[in-house]
Amino acid sequence: MKTTINGKEILLREEILEKNLLEFIREDLDLTGTKKGCEIEVCGACTILINNEAVTSCRKLVKDVVGKSVMTIEGFENEDGALHPLQQAFIDCGAIQCGYCTPGMVLTGHALLFKNNNPTREEIKEAITPVICRCTGYQQIVDAIENTAKFY
Ligand code: FES
Ligand code: FES
């Protein structure tokens, strides 16, 4: 069985299928940009994209992504290593404080803009609701997503 993570096909051994997906991503693949927070699908720190939908990974199993396309924050930058415009906007807008929520926020913003490249601020606020920013810099996060819509 296979999955695709950040554009790379990964073979999944039978014994790994029941492993927690977040632990697989962080420990086996060493993709530690995906953060571990509450581990009960409440904080959004562990958000990844599965088939371009922003979803939490802390209560999923590896078998849940068989045959699917997964993206973590490490797969988000451009091929030349440059930051994606949405990542750059987070920096430019001052939308990063401690940074713990940032991977989940960026991926959630991307999933929204992928579907709707002209969202209202209310739509952006609603989209990022599943991700909690403990530093509470929500206005700047909304600014960053709003300012990047033109690139989608
Ligand atoms: S760690 Fe998954 S939602 Fe908090
Ligand atoms: S920047 Fe600290 S949790 Fe959001």
Report whether residue 56 contacts ligand 1, using a CB cutoff of 6 Å: yes
| Distance from residue 80's CA to the centre of ligand 1 (Å) | 31
Rounded to 5, what percent of the chain is helix, strand, coil?
40, 15, 45
pLDDT of residue 38: 98
Report whether residue 121 contacts ligand 2, using a CB cutoff of 6 Å: no
Closest-approaching ligand to the CA atom of 103: 2
| Distance from residue 56's CA to the centre of ligand 2 (Å) | 17
Best mutation site among 42, 61, 129 for ligand 1, i.e. most ligand atoms within 8 A of its Cβ? 42
Atom from ligand 1 closest to the CA of residue 41: 3
* Residue ranges of the chain whose pLDDT lies below 70: none
Domains of the chain plus CATH, in order, are: 2-75 (3.10.20.30), 85-151 (1.10.150.120)
State both tokens at 47.
């958000």
Q: Is 41 left (phi over 0), alpha (psi -120 to 50) or beta?
A: left
d(CA 135, CA 138): 8
